[in-house]
Each structure stands twice: as structure tokens, then as C-alpha cells.
Structure 1
Amino acid sequence: MMQEIINEAVFKKDYETNTREFLSRNVDYEIAINSLQEIITSGWLPVEIPEDPASLISLK
């Protein structure tokens, strides 16, 4: 789902007209979306959300 949001630029207009207003530094949409792409491909996010999301937290 996250990949589809990136590919279709679903939130691009919202980012450029609303979200950017709240940033402490001006970050272009492409830079922000590239960062999100890195997070997705790094494996930090689960592929599916389990019924018990707390199970994703590892207590080491």
C-alpha cells in the first residue's frame, strides 16, 4: 500500500499545499518521498500489520 501511495503521488498536492507549511525546513516532495522509499525498502516496516500490533515491538 505504501508503495502504491508513492507510485501514484497520492499525497503530493496535499504535501505541497498543506504539510510543507508545518515543516521547520523546506523539504521538496521528491526528497520526502525518496526518504519514505528508503524506509520501505529497508525492511523497517512490516509487510502486513498483525492482529496484535504490540507483537511488532521487540523488548530486548
Structure 2
Amino acid sequence: MDAKLLEILVCPVCKGPLHYRKAEQELVCSPCRLGFQIRDDIPVMLEDEARKLPDAEEV
């Protein structure tokens, strides 16, 4: 994942910062508890396709 791209991407729901999880290949928004998958080095920033993080999962 390109570092410059990570600096400018924000959560499409709350406009907050995202955290990159390299092993899971996803960008995570802690306040919204959503994970946005990265496919072929392209983040899928659609709320409808985001993974809802379970309460037990650390963000």
C-alpha cells in the first residue's frame, strides 16, 4: 500500500483517519468499527462493502 495514499485516505462515513492492517489487507476505521478491504492494491471505500468489526476484535 502506497504511503502517500494512506496519508490522504479517510473513512467515507465519518471522515476520520484509517489504520492499515497489512496482514488482513484492509483499512480500519476505529470509531465506525469498519474494515475496508484492499483488492489488487486498490482500497474499496464503499460503506456497503465494508466489514463490520465485532466488538471483541481489537481496532
Task: Say yes or no: TM over 0.5.
Answer: no
Instruction: Give TM-score scaled by structure 1 length.
Output: 0.24
Structure with bigger RCO (C-alpha 8 Å, 6+ apart): 1
Greater strand fraction, Structure 1 or Structure 2: 2
Greater helix fraction, Structure 1 or Structure 2: 1
